[in-house]
Structure 1
Amino acid sequence: MPSFRAAVEARDTEAIEALLAENVVFTSPVAFKPYPGKAITAAFLRGVMRVFTDFHYVREIAGPDGRDHALVFKAKVGDREINGCDFLHFDDNGLIDEFTVMVRPLSATQALGEAMGAQFERIQREALEAMGATEAR
């Protein structure tokens, strides 16, 4: 199984989703409350991939036990440059069960919020479709 970083850099949404635990909790830099569940987290990540351009990781920091990772990135949202970090925690099965994103500066964070807001209906629809497909199995 590829690393999360490798999956993101390859823009491999299936590999990214395969690395998420069913009970993953996604904490967005622009939303007040966290979003629990694999379907909504995967949908948010697909939405971010549609919004960010020139995305690339610049550094990876791992905890001594390998269960915590910080992936520092740079990207653009429209004409705004954004710097951020993905904080990942891995469960006992090696799947991501906590996913927190922080970004700066404020102007880029606001641009990200607007861009993701425009994606929100699609994100919700994708998550509901994925949950329906999972229940049908």
Structure 2
Amino acid sequence: MGEVQSLAPLPQATLAGWHAFVATGNQDLLAPLLSDHIVFRSPFVQSPIPGRIATLLVLTTVVQIFENFRYHREFTAGSHDAALEFSASIGKWQLKGIDLITFDEQGKMTEFEVMVRPIKALQALGEEMGNRIGPELIRLKQAAAAGG
């Protein structure tokens, strides 16, 4: 067991910005935290969702859907990777999840992966996301696949 390495200063600042965004839902706080080349990995679809616009859309929508959202623990792996454990509810469903975040040298988020359990809560989340942004997300993914 080596010594525990904490996040580098720039990723730490980005994470502080992320917590401010989660607390307020203010999209203007989120945009500067994301790399232009960020990849979002959803718990619903196998293929990653590339791009800043799609990631902004997903994350700003999720914070509107989750009720009683709160972070519990934070883990770091090296100076540019963090895992955040959270809980929330959607209607009658309680859920737990993990956000896995990778940062670049400038401290911007380059990967954001979400895992959620149990399956019933995940299904409720998927349904709600689909109702709100499904068609728009499909369009953004197709545009990214076409190179722009």
TM-score (norm. length: structure 2) = 0.78
> Given the alignment of the two structures, is residue 60 of structure 1 paired with residue 87 of structure 2, yes or no?
no
Answer whether contact 2:90 2:125 (CA < 8 A) is retained. Answer: yes
| 1:50 paired residue among 49, 64, 68 | 64
Which one is further off, 93-102 or 2-11? Answer: 2-11
2:18 equivalent to 1:4: yes
The reply to whether residue 27 of structure 1 matches residue 33 of structure 2 is no
The superposition leaves residues 13-53 of structure 1 with CA deviations (integer Å, 9 ceiling, x where unpaired) of: 21122100000000000122110000000000111112111
Query: Deviation at 1:7?
Result: 2.5
> Where does the alignment leave 5 or more consecutive residues of structure 2 unmatched?
1-12, 142-148
Alignment match of 2:108 (pick from 83, 95, 98): 95
Counterpart check, 1:72 vs 2:85? yes
Equivalent residue, structure 1, for 2:133 = 120
Paired with 1:122 and 1:44, the residues of 2 have a C-alpha distance of: 12
User: Structure 1 residue 8: deviation in Å?
Assistant: 1.5
CA distance in 1, matches of 2:118, 2:20: 26
Aligned residues: 129
Which of 17, 21, 33 aligns to 2:31? It is: 17
**Hey, which bits of structure 1, 4+ residues long, moved more than 4 A?**
none
| Aligned alpha-carbon RMSD (Å) | 2.4
Structure 2 equivalent of residue 132 of structure 1: none
2:98 aligned residue = 85
Identify the residue that residue 131 of structure 1 maps to in structure 2.
none
Identity of aligned residues (%): 36
Q: Distance in 1 between matches of 2:51 and 2:98?
A: 20
Q: CA deviation at 1:81?
A: 0.5
Unaligned runs of 5+ in 1: 129-137
State whether residues 47 and 123 of structure 1, in contact with CA within 8 Å, keep that contact through their aligned partners in structure 2: no
In 1, the alpha carbon distance for the partners of 2:56 and 2:40 equals 9
Is the CA contact 2:87–2:94 (under 8 Å) kept in the aligned structure 1?
yes
In structure 1, what is the Cα distance between the partners aligned to 2:26 and 2:64? 13
Q: TM-score, normalised by structure 1?
A: 0.83
Asked if 1:41 corresponds to 2:52, the answer is no
